Amino acid sequence: MIHPIQPFVQYLLVQPDIPYQSLDMKIFAGVPFLYFKLQDHSGQHALEVWLDKVIEGFTSGTIWTIQWLYIRSSSNGLVYKFSIRSPNQKSFCCGNQCPNCILFRD
């Protein structure tokens, strides 16, 4: 079974001007962690600015958001926790006549 973050990781791998040498994904207890080994001329701030730009491009036109959190530095590079979030409100009608149905919105 494919983890929901894997399409995003594949998207990261084909982006131009990548500030990292290698990218590795590990999943612990269902939570994806990405390990970035930086290029010599790149720093943590440059990677994070680049991530924000790439995430914006990946999620534009969707209802999804991707959140990331810096965890630590390791021998493998910088470690970040990633999660894909969906909105808390209903975005479709299920046909059960719910009081918060989107059909009742103005």
Give the type of residue at 38: L
Residue 87 in this model has a pLDDT that exceeds 80: no
- State how far Cα 52 lies from the chain centre: 9
pLDDT one-digit tens code per residue, 57-71 = 999 988 888 999 999
Longest dimension (CA), the chain: 58
Average pLDDT, the chain: 88
Domain that holds residue 75: 6-85
Q: According to the model, what pLDDT value does residue 92 have?
A: 77
90 domain residue, yes or no: no
pLDDT classification of 106: cutoffs 50, 70, 90: low
| Assigned token pair, 19 | 């500030």
105 domain residue, yes or no: no
User: Is residue 79 within 8 Å of residue 35, measured between CB atoms?
Assistant: yes
99 domain residue, yes or no: no
- How many structural domains is the chain composed of? 1
94 domain residue, yes or no: no
User: Is residue 13 within 8 Å of residue 90, measured between CB atoms?
Assistant: no
Q: According to the model, what pLDDT value does residue 41 have?
A: 82
100 domain residue, yes or no: no
Residue 88 in this model has a pLDDT that exceeds 80: no
pLDDT one-digit tens code per residue, 21-53 = 999 999 999 899 999 999 888 899 999 999 999
Global pTM reads 0.77
